[in-house]
Amino acid sequence: MRTSLWLSVLVVTVLFGWGAWQRRWISDDGLIVLRTVRNLLAGNGPVFNAGERVEANTSTAWTYLVYLGSWVGGPVRLEYVVLALAFGLSLLGMALAMLGTARLYAPALRGQRALMLPAGALVYLALPPARDFATSGLECGLTLAYLGLLWWMLVCWAQAPRSGNTRRPFTAALAFVAGCSVLVRPELALMGGLALLMMLVAAGGWRARTLIVVAGGLLPVGYQIFRMGYYGLVVPGTALAKDATGDKWHQGWRYLANFTGPYALWIPVLLLVALVPVLLITRGNPWWLHTAAADPPRRRLARMVQSPAAVVVFMVVSGLLQAAYWTRQGGDFMHARVLLAPVFCLITPLAVVPLVIPDGSRISRETGYWLAGAVGLLWLGIAGWSLWAANSPGMGANATRIGYDGIIDERKFYSQATGHAHPLTAADYLDYPRMRAALVALNNTPDGALLLPSGNYDQWDVVPAIPPPPDQEPGRKPPHTVFFTNLGMVSMNVGLHVRVIDQIGLANPLAAHTDRLDHARIGHDKNLFPDWAVAEGPFLKKRPYLPPYLDEGWVQQAQAALECPATDAALAAVRAPMSPRRFASNLLHAYEFTRYRIDRVPLYELVRCGLEVPETDPDPYTGLPATGP
C-alpha cells in the first residue's frame, strides 16, 4: 500500500506541477500584494500607499509570508519570490491532502493488500482554473497548503484516542493551525472555528480547553486588535470594499453555473459519491465511533466528535458552507477562483481511494472481487473525465469577453491584453493598454498631477497639481496620484511616492465607504466618481484644468462634503499620524468606522451630512448654478 500511495502522490504532484507551470502567470491582483510588501521593506508599514493605513490584501498570512520570502530572497525580484511560494505551496497542499486521506484509511486496511489510487486529487488537478491559480500570485496556493495541513492534522487527531497518542504539543499545534484560518482567508474562520469547537468538546478537563483556547486564539485575536487599532476597521479593507456581508444570490448562481457547466462537474460528483458506499462495505467492521456502551454520555459525545467520521463530515460541511457563502456573496469576477477552495475541501476525503485485493479474511473472495471491480470501474470513469476536463476549452470564446455576468478567464484575459503568454513581472504589464502612457505622463508632470484614464488607451487625462511654493524644500517628491482600476500593474511600475487609488475602494478609503451598487460588475460594484479624487488632492479644481467630463460644481461640492465631521473622522483614522492615542481611538471606534457609508454623489452627500451646498459658477450653457447631480 505504501508503495502505491507514494507513487500516486508523486504522479499527481508532478502532473499538477507540470500543468501549473505550463499556465504560470501572476495576476494584477497578485501584484497588489507586492506593493504592500514593498512598503513594508521600505519601512512605511503594511500599507498600500505611504501615509494611508489601508489593508488592501485579503490574506494577512499571505502578505507576511511574501514579506518573509522577499527578505530571505534578498536581490531576487518580488515577482519570482511570490511565484516560487505560490507554486510550492500548491504542490504541498495537494500532497498533504493525499497523505491525510491515506492515513484515514490505514487502520481499516492494516494487514490487507491494497492499491492507493488518486481519485479526488485527479478531479482537482484536472480543473484548468486549479492549475491557473496555482501560480497567480494570490493566496490560492497558501489556502491549498493550509487546507491540506489542517486535514492531515485532524485525521491524526481523530485517530489519537484509538492509538493512545494524544499529546499536548500536538493539540496545541492543531489549535494554532485552526486558529490561523481567519488569517489565511477571512471566510475560513467558519472552518477554523468549527475545528476549535470540536477540539473543545473532545477535550478532557479545563487545562486542555485552556490550552486550545490560548493556542487557537492568541494570534488571530492579537492581529484583530492590531487591525482595529491600526486600520480602524473590524474587517480587512477588501471586505469593506466588497461589502462581504452583503448578498447577490442571482449573481452567485450565475457564477456557480459558470464554473460547473464547462467541466460537467456533475460527472465526477456522481462517480465520487458512488465510491462512498463501496468503500464503506470494503471496510467491514465500522471503525467510525470509538465508543463503548459503558461510557457516560459526556465521554461518548467526546469520542464521537474526535473520530474519523466526524472529521470527514467536518471537511464536507466546511466545503458546502464555503460554497454557499460565495454563492450568496455573488462569487467573483475571476472564473472559478473562489470556488476552488470549497471543491478542494469536498474532494479531500476521497483524494485517494483504496482498491483492496481480496484475501477472504473479512469478506468472501467473490464479494471482494466484485467490490474491487466496482472501485476500479468508478476510478476509470474519474480518470477518463479528468483527461477530458484537463483539455477542456473552459469558457471558450467568452473567456476574455466581459459580458453581463462580468466573469472572465483572468489568465487568458491578461495574456491576451499584454501579449505575453506568461505575464509574470510588472514589466510584462507595461504592455497592457495605458501602462507605458502612464509612465510618460508622470515624467511629463514634474510638479505633480492627478492621472485619470482617458478614452484613448495611449494617453491619460492630467489634472495639474497646485504649483509648489517658491520656498518648497528641495528634493521633495511631487504630489502624483493615479486613479485607475488595475491597482497592481500601476503600483508596481511606479515609485512608492506615487499615490495609486481606485474607484472600487480596495486602496481608496473614501471609495470603500460608499454603498455597493446592485447591478455593477461583481467585485467591482463600488464606483466613486473621479471628481472626489480632484477634490481631496492638491490639484487645480477649475477650468481649463479639468477634463471635459468632470463637473466643476461637483468638484466644489465634493470638496465641501469632505468637511463632514463623520467623514473627516473616518479618514483621520487612516491618515492621521499613528500614536498610542490614535490607536486607542481607532480601536474604540472601529465598528462605527466599518459601518460608516457616504453617498458617492457629492450633492446627496452634502444633504445627508446636513451641510450647506456651496455656490458654484453658473453653467456656461444654461446660465443656471451647477448644483445638480
Asked if residues 451 and 462 have their Cβ atoms less than 8 Å apart, the reply is yes
Highest averaged pLDDT of the listed ranges 147-156, 201-210, 288-297, 473-482: 147-156
* Per-residue CA distances from 398 to 191, 258, 536, 582 (Å): 34, 11, 39, 49
Q: How many residues are recorded in the chain? A: 629
**pLDDT tier at 157 (50, 70, 90 boundaries)?**
very high
The C-alpha angle with vertex 414 and arms to 412 and 416, in degrees rounded to 5, equals 65
pLDDT of residue 620: 55
Asked if residues 141 and 85 have their Cβ atoms less than 8 Å apart, the reply is yes
**pLDDT tier at 163 (50, 70, 90 boundaries)?**
low
The C-alpha angle with vertex 520 and arms to 518 and 525, in degrees rounded to 5, equals 85
Please say if the pLDDT value at position 561 is more than 80: yes
pLDDT of residue 623: 52
Compute CA 293 distance to the chain's CA centroid, rounded to the nearest angstrom: 46
Instruction: Over range 498-523, report the average pLDDT.
Output: 92
Please say if the pLDDT value at position 384 is more than 90: yes
Instruction: Over range 173-187, report the average pLDDT.
Output: 96
Residue (of 502, 530, 505) closest to 515 by Cα position: 505
Q: Which residue has the higher pLDDT, 616 or 59?
A: 59
Instruction: Over range 392-410, report the average pLDDT.
Output: 89
Percent of the chain whose pLDDT exceeds 70:
93
Distance CA 64, CA 538 (A): 33
**pLDDT tier at 363 (50, 70, 90 boundaries)?**
low
Cell of 361: 479474511
Instruction: Over range 125-133, report the average pLDDT.
Output: 96
Q: Measure the CA dihedral 41/44/47/49, to 10°.
A: -110
- What value does the mean pLDDT of the chain take? 91
- Residue 616 gets the label, from left (phi > 0), alpha (psi -120 to 50) or beta, of beta
pLDDT tens for 214-247 read 999 999 999 999 999 999 999 999 999 988 777 8
pLDDT of residue 288: 44
Q: Strands 480-483 and 449-453, how do they pair?
A: parallel
- The backbone torsions φ and ψ at residue 608, rounded to the nearest 5 degrees and listed phi first, read -60, -40
pLDDT of residue 286: 46
Instruction: Over range 448-458, report the average pLDDT.
Output: 92
Please say if the pLDDT value at position 290 is more than 60: no
Please say if the pLDDT value at position 495 is more than 90: yes
Instruction: Over range 361-388, report the average pLDDT.
Output: 85
pLDDT of residue 629: 46
Percent of the chain whose pLDDT exceeds 90:
77
Position 288, amino acid: W
Instruction: Over range 177-182, report the average pLDDT.
Output: 97
Asked if residues 152 and 94 have their Cβ atoms less than 8 Å apart, the reply is no
The C-alpha angle with vertex 241 and arms to 238 and 246, in degrees rounded to 5, equals 105
Distance CA 266, CA 496 (A): 48
The C-alpha angle with vertex 277 and arms to 276 and 283, in degrees rounded to 5, equals 95
Asked if residues 259 and 335 have their Cβ atoms less than 8 Å apart, the reply is yes
**pLDDT tier at 524 (50, 70, 90 boundaries)?**
confident
Please say if the pLDDT value at position 287 is more than 60: no
**pLDDT tier at 362 (50, 70, 90 boundaries)?**
low
* Per-residue CA distances from 69 to 76, 78, 85, 180, 419 (Å): 10, 9, 8, 19, 29
pLDDT of residue 475: 67
Cβ-defined contacts of 408-412 (< 8 Å, 24+) = 408/333, 408/334, 408/335, 409/129, 409/132, 409/335, 410/27, 410/132, 410/136, 410/333, 410/334, 410/335, 410/337, 411/23, 411/25, 411/27, 411/132, 411/136
Three-class secondary structure assignment of 527-578: CCCHHHHHHHCCECCCCCCCCCCCCHHHHHHHHHHCCCHHHHHHHHHHHCCC
Distance CA 208, CA 202 (A): 10
Work out the end-to-end distance of the chain between its first and last CA atoms, rounded to an integer number of angstroms. 72
Distance CA 169, CA 417 (A): 51
The sign of the dihedral angle between the CA atoms of 97, 103, 108, 114 is positive
pLDDT tens for 306-335 read 999 999 999 999 999 999 999 999 999 999
